[in-house]
Amino acid sequence: MAAVGIDLLRVIAYGNLQLKKQQDAKIRAQLQYWRSRPHRQPGIYMLELVHRDTKQSLSVNQLKFVLRKAIDYVELRDHNAAFLIDNAFKRTSAADVLNGARRYMKAPIQSQTFFQFAHHVEQMCAKIPQNRWDEPMAQPMREVGYGQYAIGRIGDHNSHNSSNYLMGLFDAICKAFEQELGGRYTIIGEVIFQCWDEEQCCPAEELFTCIAQADIASGRGFCHSDAGTTAMKAEGDEQFDWDEIRMDALKTSPYLANMRVELKVIQQVKELQDQLPDLEARLEELANIELPDDDDDLDETALQNRLNSQQAEIARNENIMDVLKRGDQLMRRLGI
């Protein structure tokens, strides 16, 4: 995680990456660099269903329209609509469609998965207040995956070759019913993390799928298989010069800068640890102080000032001890 900029991480978790790319020059430059890589690049990519021009997400009402078309498609209710959908990207005969063939739903297990997906999408929509159903959703529908050549894998999804069938179905519906949706919504992808070690690939795919809420259970994602399974292909892969990739990632990511910050925190924690015995003794001393009962010993203002001072010192020392505890956790995580 230290290799990911906080602004990029935040938009992956909560926002619309394509929209943020238009607005943020720093994020745009990083994404463009990954797009322009001259050699095979193992990495994690994320695809979003957004408007081709504005990069806005579908609204809830638009998403419900697409979902209804998808349900009709899977349940073989509307052959005319199915013909338009199956011909959105590739040619399909009308006879095949009338006989029940569906380009994006070829096996019973796919239908079962689709209805699980549809249920979660409906649940997600129901959590959004109805007075916002005409607004673009803050976070688009998404898919996250690993690619040995991540940019090339994005191209496969865009052309519906060896692609996610749930995402492909939604993309085809958006193209077939562009007029009804008020514009062309389509799948656009970016590389969001460059893997620099084969052992990173599986956990990175799992982690970013979770952060982006890209699994079908979230109601916001198209990922229907276990995250990390695709990245297993990287294990033992000797086609990559991992040393070269590692050096490039260290130069172009915020990893080194973030590690400098963490090391500075560790240094501060170690300095505070030397003060810990004195702080604990002082806290015990303050807790055991008995205030005088005789009103003549202290007037009311002086008494209140003394109380305030003691409470402030206790709070200050407790805060330092809290920093120490968090520092200990950080050092354990880093193996220090």
User: What mean pLDDT comes out for the span 226-253?
Assistant: 70
Q: What percent of the chain has pLDDT over 70?
A: 76
**Contact predicate 317/279, CB 8 Å:** yes
The amino acid sitting at 17 is L
> If residue 96 lies in a helix (H) or strand (E), which one and from where to where?
helix 94-98
- The model's confidence at residue 141, banded by pLDDT at 50, 70 and 90, is very high
More confident residue, 250 or 156: 156
- For residue 158, pLDDT over 80 is answered with yes
pLDDT digits (tens, 9 = 90+) for 292-308: 555 555 566 666 676 66
Assign 6 to helix, strand or coil: helix
Computed on alpha carbons and rounded to an integer, the radius of gyration of the chain in Å comes to: 28
pLDDT digits (tens, 9 = 90+) for 1-38: 667 788 999 999 999 999 999 999 999 998 998 888 75
Q: How many CB atoms lie within 10 A of CB 184?
A: 12
Partners of residue 48 on adjacent β-strands: 142, 188
> Where are the chain's structural domains?
6-253, 257-334
Q: How does the average pLDDT of the chain come out, rounded?
A: 84
Burial 68-79 (b: 16+ CB within 10 A, else e): ebbebbbeeeee
| pLDDT computed for residue 282 by the predictor | 67
Cα distances (angstroms) measured from residue 26 to each of 20, 190, 254:
10, 15, 12
pLDDT digits (tens, 9 = 90+) for 235-248: 555 667 777 777 77
User: What mean pLDDT comes out for the span 127-155?
Assistant: 95
User: What mean pLDDT comes out for the span 97-113?
Assistant: 94
More confident residue, 276 or 99: 99
pLDDT digits (tens, 9 = 90+) for 33-68: 888 875 667 889 999 999 999 999 999 999 999 999
142-147, strands of its sheet edge to edge: 142-147, 43-51, 185-194
